Amino acid sequence: MNTQPLPELIAQSQELLSAIRKHPQFQGLHFDCDVSIGDVVQFFNFLQYETTTNVVNSREGFTQ
């Protein structure tokens, strides 16, 4: 099981998506799909936002 924090995994995924999007072999593909790579990027952006927002919100009310 992967023990990396979720925000790190999301960042790695975003870097990979960027590399895939820029790759000449990917750019040369012609296919019709219901989900575009832009949709996947948007998903990871939303996921990143949710994980950072939930971390901040989960600490509210916590005092030491």
The pLDDT of residue 62 = 44
Q: Output the pLDDT for position 55.
A: 59
Residue 40's domain spans which residues? 1-26+36-53
- 1-6 contacts at long range (C-beta below 8 A, 24 or more positions apart): 6/51
CA distance 29 to 45: 24
More reliable by pLDDT, 13 or 57: 13
Q: Is residue 31 included in any domain, yes or no?
A: no
Q: Is the pLDDT of residue 44 over 60?
A: yes
pLDDT given at position 47: 94
pTM: 0.69
Indicate whether 58 belongs to any domain: no
Residue 1 belongs to some domain of the structure = yes
Q: Considering the domain boundaries, does residue 64 fall inside one?
A: no
